[in-house]
Each structure stands twice: as structure tokens, then as C-alpha cells.
């Protein structure tokens, strides 16, 4: 069976990762969560004192000088769940916390950060047989991807899903309003930034999952992938 390249882009918290992971597992493909890579750079900047979490001020020159030291890899636990590794340390939990979520968009808007991560992502996809999710996969990373999907859902539905996820991890302080604000802010920054703004590639298929269950969206995506593999 031919091994294709699948690009999945879309808004934050719309379930892209869930469906991309499920598809990669079914097809036995590599899965790459590029959002985790931008989050890992953000965590690095915060820890190194190169970004202020309150003011969001970034020491861009300092970060640029250290980009080669930002070592991002992936591993997985016994259950097969993918874990992000920064400089040898598993940081999967830290990169999902609100501090990083609130700081990641300005980091992802820095051209040198994008150049660095896009080059890494393109290397990961050289062999095909990959499902990559992000914001610019179909437009910048793999403009010739065999299958491009653009996923979306309403901001309220996405905020509710993210809140449940945080609560499931024991967060009792974050409110629906906090998460909705974060989702809306990130939508705005992600689609208005100068470098690689979030947009649907002309040849991407649109998947609005506001009213779809996870099994329904997985089924639809698998059908599109199989149609593409068998074409």
C-alpha cells in the first residue's frame, strides 16, 4: 500500500490531535503534533528567562541565539501515548498548562522559530507515511501533501472541550470564560500573524466537527485517507 503524507490543520482545541493520532495508529503511520513543538520552545523560553509570562515580553535576540540548543524529540509511554521531550526531559504535562498556552502564540509568530521548526518537520516527513497536525502543514510544511484536511468547530464548543480536558487533569480553578478567552485570543493571533497565518489551503478538505462525535470524525477522516491511498 502506498505511504502518503497527510496534513491536518485547523483552529486550536478542535480535536485535530485526537483525530490525527487515531488515523496514524490505524494506518500505522508516524504522528507528529507540531503544536507540541511550539509549546516546547515556549517552555524553554520561559524557563530560560527569555520570556516574561506576565507581560509576554520576549527576548527574541536571546532566544534566537539559543535556538540550536532547543532539543525537541518525542517518545511514548507504555500505552503508546506520545510524549514531548525537551532536552531529554519529558515535558508533556508542562506544555499543556495554561502558562504555556497563554504564551505560545507570540512565540509561534517569531519567524526564526518557525523556520527552525518547519525545517525539523520537513525532515521528519521525508519518507512519507506521516500524519502531521498543526496550523501551516498543508500551506507551508508540506504544500504537496497527498491529503490536506482543515478542521474547525465553534469557539464555544472548543472551549468546552479544552475545559473538560483541563478538569480531567485535576485543574479546578480555570473557568469556561478563561478558556474561551484563550481560544479566541489564539484564533486571532494565529490567523493574523505575518508569518504563515492559519488559513485553509485551497485544496484542503473542510471538516467541521462541532456536531460530530469522535468516532464519527475518525471514520470520516479514515475514509478520506483510504480514498487517497487507493486513488
Binding site for ligand DC (CB under 6 A): 12, 34-35, 38-39, 104-105, 108, 134-136, 186, 190
Sign of CA dihedral 180, 185, 191, 196: negative
Q: Which lies closer to ligand DC via its Cβ, residue 29 or residue 78?
A: 29
Q: Which lies closer to ligand DC via its Cβ, residue 196 or residue 218?
A: 196
As measured in angstroms, the least distance from the Cβ of 105 to ligand DC is 4
As measured in angstroms, the least distance from the Cβ of 29 to ligand DC is 18
Q: What is the DSSP string of 173-211?
A: S--HHHHHHHHHHHHHHHHH-SSS-----TTPEEEE-TT
Distances (CA, A) of 185 to 66, 121, 145, 195: 28, 26, 29, 17
As measured in angstroms, the least distance from the Cβ of 60 to ligand DC is 16
Residues 188 and 47: beta-carbon distance below 8 Å: no
Q: Which lies closer to ligand DC via its Cβ, residue 125 or residue 134?
A: 134
Q: Which lies closer to ligand DC via its Cβ, residue 50 or residue 158?
A: 158
As measured in angstroms, the least distance from the Cβ of 226 to ligand DC is 25
**Strands 89-90 and 82-86, bridge-based pairing:** antiparallel
Phi, psi of 13 (to 5 degrees): 55, 35
Amino acid at each position: 500500500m502506498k505511504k502518503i503524507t497527510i496534513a491536518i490543520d485547523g483552529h486550536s482545541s478542535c480535536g485535530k490531535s485526537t483525530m490525527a493520532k487515531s488515523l496514524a495508529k490505524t494506518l500505522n503511520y508516524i504522528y507528529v503534533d507540531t503544536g507540541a513543538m511550539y509549546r516546547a520552545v515556549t517552555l524553554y523560553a520561559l524557563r530560560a528567562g527569555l520570556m516574561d509570562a506576565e507581560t509576554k515580553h520576549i527576548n527574541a535576540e536571546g532566544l534566537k541565539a539559543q535556538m540550536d540548543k532547543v532539543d525537541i524529540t518525542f517518545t511514548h509511554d507504555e500505552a503508546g501515548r506520545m510524549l514531548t521531550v525537551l532536552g531529554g526531559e519529558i515535558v508533556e504535562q508542562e506544555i499543556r498548562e495554561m502558562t504555556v498556552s497563554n504564551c505560545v502564540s507570540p512565540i509561534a509568530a517569531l519567524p526564526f522559530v518557525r523556520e527552525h521548526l518547519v525545517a525539523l518537520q520537513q525532515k521528519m516527513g521525508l519518507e512519507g507515511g506521516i500524519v502531521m497536525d498543526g496550523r501551516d502543514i498543508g500551506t507551508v510544511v508540506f504544500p504537496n501533501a497527498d491529503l490536506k484536511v482543515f478542521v474547525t468547530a465553534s469557539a464555544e464548543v472548543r472551549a468546552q472541550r479544552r475545559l473538560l480536558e483541563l478538569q480531567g487533569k485535576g485543574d479546578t480553578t480555570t473557568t469556561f470564560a478563561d478558556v474561551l478567552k484563550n481560544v479566541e485570543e489564539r484564533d486571532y493571533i494565529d490567523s493574523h500573524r505575518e508569518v504563515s497565518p492559519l488559513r485553509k489551503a485551497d485544496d484542503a478538505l473542510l471538516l467541521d466537527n462541532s456536531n460530530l462525535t469522535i468516532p464519527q470524525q475518525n471514520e470520516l477522516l479514515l475514509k478520506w485517507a483510504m480514498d487517497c491511498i487507493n486513488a
